Structure 1
Amino acid sequence: MKKWYYLIMMLVLALVLTACGGNSSNEEGSSSDNDSTMENEGSTEEGTTEEGTTEEGTKEEETAETAMVTLKDAEGNDVGTAEITEENKGVTINLQATDLPEGTHGFHIHETGKCEAPDFKSAGGHFNPADVSHGTETDDGPHAGDMENLEVSADGTVDKEIMNEKVTLVEGEDNSLLKEGGTAFVIHAGADDMESQPSGDAGDRIACGVIEK
């Protein structure tokens, strides 16, 4: 009788141990599956972050470089602003000015970033890195700094967008407006005839602004 009793007890113990071992294996398997799922989710999130960073970097590279210029008259009064935006080819200049004499006025980029009143001669001559003649009406012109005339209305204002394909805001280039020593915008008292040397016979300099970032 005792023999059978011990055999039954050993059988029950064996069954219990077997059941516990199976549960342990299932729990370990579930834990492993959970760990794998978390790792995959982590990888996905990291991948998304990296992709987002790449897209952000691309957007920053595509962002156009700009420069803002304030123009002053001979008395030191602010008379206008010009925003320069780097384009695929050249730059766009958005000029807004007030308190200017009515009529047609020469508008140029000059070679030195200094605007010392009252005559603004400190700005030097026209920006001319290619060393060519002045004006669109000459065979080997124009200067990189030559631009179309401004038409100032009777109320002394002008709002104009100008495209200049001969200059850039990219530093280090020969035709960069941000070269060492700088450059400047100058508005003249008269119209540029686009052919007289060396500056189009546009008269006195009545407003000037240094080009900088």
Structure 2
Amino acid sequence: MRIAASLLVASTLAIAACADNEPVANDVNLTMNDTALSDTNLVGNDAAPLAPAANFVGGDGAALGSVTVEDSAGGVVLRLAGSGMPAGTHGLHIHMVGKCEGPKFESAGAHWNPDNKQHGLENPEGPHRGDLPNATVGADGSLTESLTIAGVSLAELRDSDGSALVVHAQPDDNMTDPSGNSGDRIACAVIAPAG
């Protein structure tokens, strides 16, 4: 009888201990979740605004990687992570419209050029605000670039019709208007309108 009573008391104490700990465990989980939500909100409110990641597509619709776009003190930062692209040097431009309809991506419109300048980073009459340095795709088809478009805000790129980041087949000569002889558009990523 004493053994049974001892077991009953021990079981009751164990259950009570578990019951006492259960709210603590839930409180810890709530605290962790609240902290995670707070951190997420802080990143969204205190850090530079970040556009949703955009996916590069080829003319046939194949996925070719992604680009993230965010505001910084110096302008808009683009981080490209591509794969399956032709090796070599390629022109890279922001185009006026956030549409990437293959196979030629003409839906993206012309280079983003709100100041009506000539094309080319080396053109004395330029450049377009959408003119970017050439990008290099490795022998394995990978494209890893991080660059800043100085004096530009994310809000400008995410206007009512958005914009598009386009990779061209050839290098940009940084001089010839309107597109630097950079050839066909081979990959495109939509920078979606805000909202």
Given the two structures, how large is their TM-score scaled by the length of structure 1? Answer: 0.68
- Equivalent residue for 1:139? 124
- Would you say the 8 A contact 1:134–1:197 is kept in 2? yes
How many residue pairs match? The answer is 153
Deviation at 1:168, TM superposition (A): 1.1
1:111 and 2:91 aligned: no
1:204 and 2:184 aligned: yes
Deviation at 1:137, TM superposition (A): 1.2
User: What letter is aligned with 1:168?
Assistant: S
- Equivalent residue for 2:31? none
- Equivalent residue for 1:63? 47
Q: 1:61 to 1:141 in 2, by over 3 A?
A: same
Given the two structures, how large is their TM-score scaled by the length of structure 2? Answer: 0.74
User: What letter is aligned with 2:166?
Assistant: V
- Would you say the 8 A contact 2:95–2:164 is kept in 1? yes
**Cα RMSD after superposing both structures:** 1.7
1:44-72 alpha-carbon deviations (Å, 9 max, x no partner)? xxxxxxxxxxxx99875422101121110
Gaps of 5+ in 1: 1-55, 171-175
- Equivalent residue for 2:161? 181
Gaps of 5+ in 2: 1-39
In 2, Cα distance between the equivalents of 1:70 and 1:124? 18
Higher gyration radius (CA): 1
Percent of residue pairs identical: 40
User: What letter is aligned with 1:63?
Assistant: A
**3-state SS in 2 of match to 1:134:** coil
1:163-188 alpha-carbon deviations (Å, 9 max, x no partner)? 11142113xxxxx0011111001000
1:194 and 2:174 aligned: yes
- Would you say the 8 A contact 2:74–2:148 is kept in 1? no
- Equivalent residue for 1:159? 144
Deviation at 1:158, TM superposition (A): 1.3
- Equivalent residue for 2:63? 78
